[in-house]
Amino acid sequence: MIARRFVPVMLFMLVMAFHVGSSPAATGTVVTRSTYIRAETDRTFYNVSQLAGGVNRFYHYRSITPLDKQSVVRMNKDTLYSGAVVDTSKGATLTVPDMPPGRYFSVLMIDNDHYSPGVIYTPGVHKLPRDTKYLFLAVRIQLLHPDDPADIALVNALQDGFVINAQRADPFPKPKWDTKSLNALTERYNREFAKFKQYPDGSMAPRGKADERIRHLAAAGAWGLFPTRDAVYINYNGGQSADQCYCATYSIPENKAFWSITVYGADGYMKSANSILNGINARPNPDGTVTAHFGSEAQCGNVANRLDTTEGWNFLMRIYRPGESVVDRSYRLPDAVACKPQQALQ
């Protein structure tokens, strides 16, 4: 069994989209280790500003991506995303709308050097930091019922309530970095970053608190990752087949927001609409734990908390605003073990 904490590469489709737009110049300033973070961040900032139609404007993802249109691995149905690049040079604010009780949202702030000045969790008018001229805002809003059009419509309305007010709107300049050297370093740093069984603390943090020894690897392997205090991701790959039912009982991870489990195929893509277990749809045991069943109904029986699997299945547990036992890594996932249908009946 392999259970490790990590922020998946290009965790959300939003950031992925930023990387498939316009690119830096085919020939330009050669990118080195010392300039890599700025070059990679310039690429993302430029692309999102193009998608949004300029700076100080949000680009919104309005719906969940269908199973047959997944464009990046490890997608999920937990939240909808929005992103913007803000010119903060003469001052800027973000107005966050009031949120319905019990619905998670966050605004991750990332400066042009891939530091995170902070994460916004409260409604109201927020003065944006000016560590660099441009600041990236990544908004997440929780979907409580991702298959319900009414819930998606509600979140869309909430997305529209986020308002940027900036005193200057200089277009983000098209990067002049050399594409070949930038892409070569990205590929190299991705390979190095993939060696970590868990992302080291300090991969993303405020300026002065980040680990400068590995920040360039994080910018390549997980651009836009949350600081550990704000989200933890635990990957489980037990190597089990899809020819029988597997069960595991989980204690609820300590959190101030929510948790979820999403099952993927061997290639990292969701294979079924029945692939998500979370604090909303899970049926708890009398002691508050949750027993999950991995396999088809024919294999597991008509049981609660059953998730479909395919050969090479694996899952990702996401924990937003994790508690201390998760942050300090004392929270562990048990192995899923084979169980017979009659043992699984509830």
CATH of the domain at 324: 2.60.120.1600
Q: Are residues 213 and 254 in the same domain?
A: no
Cα distances from 73 to residues 77, 215, 265, 342, in angstroms, run 13, 23, 10, 34
Q: What is the pLDDT of residue 27?
A: 75
Q: For the chain, what percent of residues have pLDDT higher than 70? A: 89
- The closest alpha carbon to 178, from 41, 20, 31, belongs to 31
Calculate mean pLDDT across residues 142-168.
97
Counted domains in the chain: 2
Q: What is the pLDDT of residues 210-250, one digit of tens each?
A: 999 999 999 988 888 899 999 988 888 877 788 999 999 99
Q: H helices within 171-273, ranges in order?
A: 179-193, 215-221
Residues 208 and 255 in one domain: no
Same domain, 287 and 167: no
The answer to whether residue 260 sits within a structural domain is yes
Per the CB < 8 A criterion, the answer to whether 223 and 114 are in contact is yes
Answer yes or no: is pLDDT of 72 > 80: no
Q: What is the pLDDT of residue 344?
A: 46
Domain boundary among 193, 221, 249: 221
DSSP 67: G
Please report the pLDDT score of residue 194 as a whole number. Answer: 74
More confident residue, 177 or 23: 177
Last residue of a domain, one of 156, 189, 221: 221
Least confident of 80-94, 115-129, 224-238: 224-238
Whether residue 346 is predicted with pLDDT greater than 50 in this model: the reply is no
When computed from its CA atoms, the radius of gyration of the chain, rounded to whole angstroms, is 21
Q: How confident is the model at residue 198 (pLDDT cuts 50, 70, 90)?
A: low
Does some domain include residue 226?
A: no
Shared domain for 215 and 239, answered yes or no, is no
Residue 2 included in any domain: no
Residues 152-176: what's their mean pLDDT?
98
Identify whether residues 293 and 210 lie together within a single domain. no
Q: What pLDDT, on the 0 to 100 scale, is given for residue 241?
A: 83
For the stretch 173-185, pLDDT in tens is 999 999 999 999 9
Report pLDDT digits (tens) over 254-267.
999 999 999 999 88
Q: Please name which of 92, 89, 113 lies closest in space to residue 207, comparing C-alpha atoms.
A: 113
Residues 112 and 51 in one domain: yes
Provide the pLDDT confidence category of residue 4 given band limits of 50, 70 and 90.
Answer: very low
Of 221, 246, 274, which marks where a domain is finished?
221
Are both 53 and 164 inside the same structural domain? yes
What confidence score (pLDDT) does residue 21 get? 46
Q: Token pair of 242, please?
A: 């899809």
At what angle are helices 179-193 and 33-52 packed, to 10 degrees? 110
**In whole numbers, what is the pLDDT of the chain averaged over residues?**
89
Q: What is the mean pLDDT of residues 133-162?
A: 97
Q: Does any domain span residue 336?
A: yes
Residue type, position 294, single letter: F
- pLDDT above 90 (res 113): yes
193 and 280 fall within a common domain: no
Is the confidence at residue 313, as pLDDT, over 70?
yes
Q: Is residue 185 part of a domain?
A: yes
Distance between CA atoms of residues 162 and 88, nearest Å: 16
Residue ranges making up the domain that contains 211: 9-221
Least confident of 156-165, 266-275, 302-311: 266-275
Rounded CA gap, 87 and 56, in Å? 7
Q: Answer yes or no: do 213 and 236 share one domain.
A: no
Q: Do 188 and 71 share a domain, yes or no?
A: yes
Residue partners of 212: CB distance under 8 A and separation at least 6:
none
pLDDT at res. 260: 97
Please give the average per-residue pLDDT across 155-172, as a whole number: 98
Indicate the helix (H) or strand (E) that contains 290: strand 290-294
Q: Which of the given ranges, 2-6, 20-24, 101-105, has the highest pLDDT on average?
A: 101-105
Residue 4 domain-assigned (yes or no)? no
pLDDT tens sequence across 40-68:
999 999 999 999 999 999 999 999 888 88
Say if residue 151's pLDDT is above 50.
yes
Comparing 21 with 263, the larger pLDDT belongs to 263
Do 198 and 58 have their domain in common?
yes
Tell the burial category of 131 from Cβ atoms under 10 Å away from its Cβ (0-12, 13-18, 19+).
middle
74 pLDDT higher than 90: no
String of b and e for 54-70 (b: at least 16 CB within 10 Å)?
ebbbbbbbeebeeeeeb
Task: Give helix then strand counts, H and E, for the chain.
Answer: 8, 17
Whether residues 302 and 174 fall in one domain = no
Query: Is residue 179 assigned to a domain?
Result: yes
Are 87 and 165 within 8 A, CB to CB? no
Domain membership of residue 3 (yes or no) is no
Q: Mean pLDDT throughout 185-205?
A: 84
CA separation for the pair 215, 115 (Å, rounded): 9
Q: What are the residues facing 137 on neighbouring strands?
A: 84, 109
Q: What percent of the chain has pLDDT over 90?
A: 74
Check pLDDT > 50 for residue 11.
no
